[in-house]
Amino acid sequence: MDANEKVIQTLKSAGKPMKAGEIAEASGVEKKEVEKAIKKLVAEGKLHSPQRCYYDIKK
């Protein structure tokens, strides 16, 4: 499972918006990798930011 999949899985499990650091801690992926994955997933339209610095799965 790559970082993108782990980010999505972590957010699905949480069921709420999370900060990059929280996602990193919950998924076991380095924060730098999580931030890269978030940037890519937002660009692809899979994630959105409902509040500054928080990310969630786009529904």
Q: What is the CATH number of the domain that holds 44?
A: 1.10.10.10
Q: What is the DSSP letter of 44?
A: T
The pLDDT value recorded for residue 59 is 80
Give the pair of three-digit tokens for residue 27: 């998924």
Q: How many domains does the chain have?
A: 1
Task: Please tell me the distance from the alpha carbon of residue 29 to that of residue 51, in angstroms, as a whole number.
Answer: 22
Tell me the residue ranges of DSSP E strands in 1-59: 47-51, 54-57
Q: Which domain holds residue 37?
A: 3-57
pLDDT at 40: 98
2-52 residue pLDDT tens: 999 999 999 999 999 999 999 999 999 999 999 999 999 999 999 999 999
C-alpha–C-alpha distance, residues 43 and 55, integer Å: 13
pLDDT at 44: 97
Residue 1 banded pLDDT, cuts 50, 70, 90: confident
